[in-house]
Structure 1
Amino acid sequence: MKNPTKILMQLTRKALDLDWRLLLLLLPPLSLLVYVSLSSSFTTTTSTAVGTLLSSLSPFKSIFHSNYVPHARAPEEVGLRARRRREEEELDRSRIAVCLVGGARRFELTGPSIVQNILGVYNKSDLFLHSPLDPNAYKLSLLKAAPRIAAVKIFQPEPIPETQSQSRVLTAANSPNGIQGLLQYFNLVEGCLTMINDYQRKNNFTYDWIVRTRVDGYWSRPLPRDNFIPGKYLVPPGSSYSGLNDRLGVGDYNTSLVALSRLSLIPLLDAAGHQQLNSESAFKAQLAVKEVPYVTHRIPFCVVTDRRYEFPPGRFGVPVAALSSPGPLSGAKCRPCTPACTGSCVGPVMNGLYRGWSWTEWANKSLELCDAHGDWEEGWEKLFDAVAGRRLAAERKRVEALKLKQCVDDFEEMRKRTALWEAPPAADICRLASGLV
């Protein structure tokens, strides 16, 4: 009988030359042969052969190791999950000021979405409303549904005297109301910061975060939690107009203090040599001069507009998104419409736009376009209701059927729940509306 050790060595050398899958097929008979060999002889030669065999099988050791766990998470992944969980728990404990600014033109469409997707999502968020008095201000009574209201200021707008530094730094180009329009907008934003600081001093605390958004913003989904980034100011991408999209901002208190100081930082921009800036480029400049870093995230909201825009938009035109667009729309102009351009039509239109101006993200069928060269189409209410859902549709219809007494009662309910209230009598606000009886 041939020496079993020699047979074993020959088989081992041949096995090493074969595909590893064939080697797995040979493992059972090889193991049996090892067992027989070890049982019949314990010579030094045999021990050497066995050692050679085991060494040759070392690449497969982990497969048969008793502690092998196929789906175990790497320590880095476990650590990342734990860190995210801690961040979410900390955010749940954080105090958030929601700064809501602007006129209430289509607030019956946008207001309930803000309550539902921002104020209703973050339990420790306080509402700060800074809005001009006009015939649409009665719609702000919808905010009685807000869980927490810290301060409300509804004021009669007055012209803001223009300084020399403002006339140098700002431009009237592409602003519907010239430099005065920019100053009024900046006053709305910084005025909200003043309200927040007054409330903090009165209650002896500082907010962890400030979310600054617009009254005319329609939110299709909740504000995502990953937009709260310590030490950085978050803005949406697109609609940058040679600067930064200023239709929404999220930051901690220190970064927000800079971002919301739209009026008071103009002299600093002037000293730095900035000239002829629009709202977006002035916003980018003030973050730069104060060395506040920013990041961009896509955000699920759009700005509802009644304005007319050329269709299809030219290189420096403004695309108007259909409210039914999957999004996120990141503050692009929008309206409820039957889309005039979808699917393969969208790419050529959007690729024709200058990316640094009114461009917005459109990939992955996230954007549908309205033909906005005329007024809103007949039957837009049904289009809105179908997109917004039953709850928001009910709020729209509620405003449509609102009576004078109910309007006054709603404002009075808001006033009783608000710590700082500065507004005309409720009856005066409601009587400005046409059609309320």
Structure 2
Amino acid sequence: MQGSPKKIAMPFAKWVSCLDWRWLLFIGSPLFLFVVFFSTSFPSTPLSSLWPLRRFIISHAFQGNSTFNGDFLSKDQLVVRSRIAVCLVGGARRFELTGPSIIDNILKQYPNSDLFLHSPLDKDAFKFSLLKNAPRVASVRIFQPQPLPQTESETRVLTALNSPNAIQGLLQYFNLVEGCLTMIKSYEAKKNFKYDWIVRTRVDGYWNRPLDPEHFIAGEYVVPEGSSYGGLNDRLGIGDQRTSTVALSRLSLIPALDSAGFHSLNSETAFKAQLTTHGVSYVTKRLPFCVVSDRRYDFPPSEFGVPVAALSSPGPLSGAKCRPCRAACKGECAERAMAVLNRGWSWTRLENGSLRLCNASGGWEEGWQARFDKVAGKKFAATRKRIQSMKLEDCLRDFKILQKRAVTWDAPPATEICTLGLAHT
């Protein structure tokens, strides 16, 4: 005997209500992921227009600890597979020490990352020939630096205090950072896609461990903790499209800071004001890199002094100044030295012996090369020695390889870069 429609509908409704929504994801998501990641692999196709939806999935759909994560891709795995622009800025200086660590611990950790280099031409620029070993090179710009005009708003907003090259130094640095953003936007327009993330770091950063996917946080701009100088540490930044666009617009947002009443800011306080006035939320994290520096600082550091870490420090050093040295202060000595520092200025953590201090009141000590080689290992030591003994023909050959691998190239002839550098070696 047939049942009434009402009796049939009730069991069906009960069955639907019991259906776990995760099974719908289980059934539909593989096909959806195929379409989304297909658009990444072939960005010139119309499917590349799906990038905002792809970013939404990476940022939201796989957060948490659902069984769906275990069955398919975790959030970390999705970050690793994301399209990432790595923006590298600054002068080459000690790039023979820092460059290999950036290649290994950032670029090679993320197979879909593209390198963007924005740097002034100087006697050390020949060291960028090392980037021939980078997995993917999107754009290289090495330019002849020129003085930048200083506007009235820049004079009001910025201060020359504690800047090695006064306000002009800040403007040059801001120009490097924002110029890299311009390069990224131009490349995106050319290739018809958008990056999921932008990592902005410095040429003089030495990484002793890989950049972890946990530092990619949707909707938040991630910066290193410590070394904040009254604002935010601006030696590294990780963000999505929206947050990174604000964070990297260092020059063009100065008039907005002026209108908001900000005056006499250093780089770090200007950076913080830039984020807060434009509604960008930020997070500070401990990150495994330090900034290799030749500058001299009083030792031991005073309340508003600058500690210089030994490269052998386990860290994470979160962008603190560093150099290869025999540690002049560690353990209880380091604790006493760091206790003096103002925590809103140039401090960094030292728990569990993670910080060893150099006496950086003079130049690099004799024998620093052997100390670097011991800390960095045989692979990085071999690269240092190769640059130290590089010949003109080697430099020209390596730049030829690098230029061939770069999608966009804007730099002086390799003969000019190599001759300028090797004439000083």
TM-score normalised by structure 1 residue count = 0.81
Cα contact 1:258–1:287 (8 A) shared by 2: yes
Q: How far 1:79 moved relative to its partner? A: 5.1
Matching residue's letter, 1:102:
G
Q: Partners of 1:83 and 1:273 in 2: how far apart?
A: 52
Q: Secondary structure at the match of 2:363?
A: coil
Tell me, yes or no, if structure 1 residue 184 matches structure 2 residue 168: no
Q: Partners of 2:163 and 2:209 in 1: how far apart?
A: 30
Counterpart among 134, 141, 164 of residue 122 in structure 2: 134
**What is the match of residue 244 of structure 1?**
232
Which ranges of structure 2 fall in alignment gaps of 5 or more residues?
1-63
**What is the match of residue 406 of structure 2?**
418
**What is the match of residue 222 of structure 1?**
210
Tell me, yes or no, if structure 1 residue 151 matches structure 2 residue 139: yes
Q: Comparing 296-305 with 89-98, which one deviates more in the overlay?
A: 89-98
Cα contact 1:403–1:436 (8 A) shared by 2: no
Q: Secondary structure at the match of 1:175?
A: coil
Matching residue's letter, 1:218:
Y
Using the aligned pairs only, state the percent identity: 65
Query: How does 1:16-165 map onto structure 2 within 5 Å?
Result: 82=70, 85-165=73-153
Larger radius of gyration: 1
Counterpart among 181, 196, 199 of residue 208 in structure 1: 196
Matching residue's letter, 1:383:
R
Q: Secondary structure at the match of 2:85?
A: strand
**What is the match of residue 198 of structure 1?**
186
Q: How far 1:77 moved relative to its partner? A: 5.9
Counterpart among 309, 323, 342 of residue 335 in structure 1: 323
Cα contact 1:234–1:250 (8 A) shared by 2: yes
**What is the match of residue 3 of structure 1?**
none
Cα contact 1:303–1:333 (8 A) shared by 2: yes
Q: Partners of 1:358 and 1:149 in 2: how far apart?
A: 34
Q: Which runs of 4+ in 1 moved over 6 A?
A: none
Matching residue's letter, 2:392:
L
Matching residue's letter, 1:245:
N
Q: Partners of 2:142 and 2:204 in 1: how far apart?
A: 16
Q: Comparing 85-94 with 378-387, which one deviates more in the overlay?
A: 85-94
Q: How far 1:93 moved relative to its partner? A: 2.6
Matching residue's letter, 2:411:
A
Q: Secondary structure at the match of 2:283?
A: strand
Counterpart among 140, 157, 161 of residue 169 in structure 1: 157
Q: Partners of 1:113 and 1:91 in 2: how far apart?
A: 20
Measured at CA, do residues 355 and 83 of structure 1 come closer, stay the same or move farther in structure 2, by a change above 3 Å? farther
**What is the match of residue 259 of structure 2?**
271
Cα contact 2:80–2:109 (8 A) shared by 1: no
Q: Secondary structure at the match of 1:378?
A: coil
Measured at CA, do residues 88 and 134 of structure 1 come closer, stay the same or move farther in structure 2, by a change above 3 Å? same
String of CA shifts for 1:241-272, please: whole Å, max 9, x gaps.
00000000000111100000000000000010
Q: Secondary structure at the match of 1:233?
A: strand
Q: Partners of 2:97 and 2:291 in 1: how far apart?
A: 11
Q: How far 1:404 moved relative to its partner? A: 0.4
Q: Partners of 2:178 and 2:368 in 1: how far apart?
A: 35
String of CA shifts for 1:161-187, please: whole Å, max 9, x gaps.
000000010000000000000000000
**What is the match of residue 234 of structure 1?**
222
Matching residue's letter, 1:185:
Y
Q: How far 1:88 moved relative to its partner? A: 2.2
Q: How far 1:89 moved relative to its partner? A: 2.9
Q: Name the Cα RMSD after superposition.
A: 1.5
Q: Partners of 1:149 and 1:218 in 2: how far apart?
A: 20
**What is the match of residue 375 of structure 1?**
363
Q: Partners of 2:305 and 2:160 in 1: how far apart?
A: 18
Number of matched residues?
A: 362
Query: How does 1:271-420 map onto structure 2 within 5 Å?
Result: 271-420=259-408
Q: Secondary structure at the match of 2:421?
A: coil
Q: How far 1:314 moved relative to its partner? A: 0.6
Cα contact 1:430–1:436 (8 A) shared by 2: no
Q: Partners of 1:313 and 1:358 in 2: how far apart?
A: 10
Q: Secondary structure at the match of 1:432?
A: helix
Measured at CA, do residues 176 and 84 of structure 1 come closer, stay the same or move farther in structure 2, by a change above 3 Å? farther
Measured at CA, do residues 95 and 369 of structure 1 come closer, stay the same or move farther in structure 2, by a change above 3 Å? same
**What is the match of residue 430 of structure 1?**
418
String of CA shifts for 1:71-111, please: whole Å, max 9, x gaps.
xxxxx966596499531232133100000000000000000
String of CA shifts for 1:55-78, please: whole Å, max 9, x gaps.
xxxxxxxxxxxxxxxxxxxxx966
String of CA shifts for 1:309-368, please: whole Å, max 9, x gaps.
110001111000000000000000000000000111111100100111111111221100
Tell me, yes or no, if structure 1 residue 261 matches structure 2 residue 244: no
Matching residue's letter, 2:376:
A
Matching residue's letter, 2:104:
Q
Matching residue's letter, 1:431:
T
